[in-house]
Each structure stands twice: as structure tokens, then as C-alpha cells.
Amino acid sequence: MSTIRVTDEVKERLRDLKRDDESFNDLLDRLSRSEKDVEAIAESLPSVDEKDIEEMDEARKRLNESLEDRR
């Protein structure tokens, strides 16, 4: 078992994030795994090239225009 020193401000923010049934250890474990899980998911996605970005941008513009037409 280790001790980690944090400021009172950080402890309050962590307390706000902590679920009722969690210890601070459980909270830190959950938070540290979540970031790694997101990184793993991101690494498994296909890379996006400039053409894909342009197509997504055009699709977004068309969607915004169609929503404006509904007003």
C-alpha cells in the first residue's frame, strides 16, 4: 500500500468524481483504465486521410444547411 499526496482542491475534485460505492483506490483505478481504453480504441481505428476529412466536412456543411432550411 502507498500514500499519494494531493492538494485539498484535487481531493475535492476526486471526491466529486467518486461513485458512492467506490474507494479512492477504485476511483483512480477506473480513471486510469478509462484513458488507456480510449487510447486502445483510438489505435484500433483506421487512419483518416485528408480526403476523408474533406468528405466529413462537406457532409457537415450539407447537414447544417438542411437544418437551416427547416427554420
Q: pLDDT tier at 6 (50, 70, 90 boundaries)? A: very high
Task: Give pTM, 2 decimals.
Answer: 0.47
Distance from C-alpha of 23 to C-alpha of 11, rounded to nearest angstrom: 13
- Spatial CA neighbour of 26 closest among 35, 36, 17: 17
Higher local confidence (pLDDT), 35 or 13: 13
Domain spans, the chain: 8-69
Q: Which amino acid is at 57?
A: D
Residue 19 confidence (pLDDT) above 90: yes
